[in-house]
Structure 1
Amino acid sequence: MGFVGTLPLCKVRLLQPEDIAQCEQIYQLNEPLHFPAGFYPMFAQWLRDGKVLIVVIEQDNAVVAVGGMTADPVEGQQFVTLSFGMVHPAHQQKGLGTLLLLSRMALLRQNATPAQVHITTVGGSETFYGRFGFAYQDARQATPDYLQKSYAVKLSTADIDKCAFVLGHYTWIHPDFYTTRLPGYHSTGYSSA
């Protein structure tokens, strides 16, 4: 898994209820170029339903990036799905997308097993994920105007440790961050509240 460029200083933490309005604004600002029409209700529900672990990145007391993940144990490795990763347009191209990806990958450390990480991309983010070793898997027509493309990467435990190491040099990480249970590893579900 490769890392590119200098990364910004910021805070990484889990979503709190008071972050929801800022996350919705980030989505709405990104929607015209990066998300198909009609996906906003799905995003709004995703923020609130507690089924996904959601990470936010904060700078100057404002949420500037948001992204989620789930993980399920499958045959000795973690099967991970990333969802709705995005950066506020005013903060794009500054390394925050990289930090958001590293943050979610670093959370996999607690399970000490390799991971198969999947993402469905939108709006031209294939190049970004390709820098980190994600390879094309398949595509499907989600709506008449929207072709979903899926990508995946396999991470060793050393790759996961490297994500946490790099992340630790550029961020303030909330004390509860690494002790959070990932969705899929227990039957009660995850609640970010």
Structure 2
Amino acid sequence: MQNVGIRVYNVVDKPLVLHLLRLNTPTYFAPEEEKDLLYYLAHEVEEYYVLECDGEVIGCGGVNYDQNRTIGKISWDILHPEHQGKGLGSLLLLYRIKNLREQPQVKQITVRTSQLVYLFYEKHGFQLRQITRDYWSPGFDLYHMEYEGAL
């Protein structure tokens, strides 16, 4: 495998993150979600990371907190289509799960995703708790999932 690393997101990464989103639209994201990502990057980032391969940003994903930081929420996972299915998305997800598990106040880890990728999270220990049809956009359902691994 090439030289792969995870680092903290910097505002100069924003165009690269938007490019990743656009490469995955409409396959995994609805076009209207771009404005939501822009808002998130400007106002809601608590912990956000980029995944680099040979110095190129090929993925990103974050963590947000709820209920006095007792709930860690996996947020805005995006991976370049050419790098999907190679274990790199798993690397980025497991990095964040490990960080959350090392925080004693975190009692639960959740993710809100769609029917298009929920199986990815399921194979990493998340269980489906609720489905809301057409939540993100028509044809893009919300799948609320909770991590069932040990914390």
Q: In structure 2, what residue type is equivalent to 1:129?
A: Y
Q: Which amino acid aligns with 2:138?
A: P
Q: Which one has more relative contact order, counting CA pairs under 8 Å at least 6 apart? A: 1
Assess if the C-alpha contact under 8 Å between 1:116 and 1:153 holds in 2. yes
Question: Could you tell me which residue of structure 2 aligns to residue 160 of structure 1?
Answer: none
Give the match's secondary structure for 1:42: helix
Residues 116, 9 of structure 1: CA spacing in aligned structure 2 closer, same or farther, 3 A cutoff? farther
Contact 2:70 2:107 in 1 (8 A): yes
Moved over 3 A (4+): none
The answer on 1:20 being equivalent to 2:20 is: no
Structure number with the higher helix fraction is: 1
CA distance in 2 between counterparts of 1:114 and 1:46 reads 22
Specify which of 106, 114, 117 is matched with residue 125 of structure 1.
117
Which structure is larger by alpha-carbon Rg, 1 or 2?
Answer: 1
Structure 2 unaligned regions, length at least 5? none
**Which segment drifts farther, 138-147 or 60-69?**
138-147
Aligned residue for 1:31, secondary structure, equals coil
Residues 1:88 and 2:88 aligned together? no
Structure 1 stretches of 5 or more lacking a match?
Answer: 1-6, 158-193
Deviation track 1:107-154 (CA, whole Å, cap 9, x = no partner) reads 225423553111111252111111112111001131333221111113
Instruction: Say whether the 8 Å CA contact 1:55–1:68 is kept in structure 2.
Output: yes
Structure number having the greater strand percentage: 2
Q: Is the 8 A contact 1:115 1:154 kept in 2?
A: no
Matched, 1:149 2:143: yes
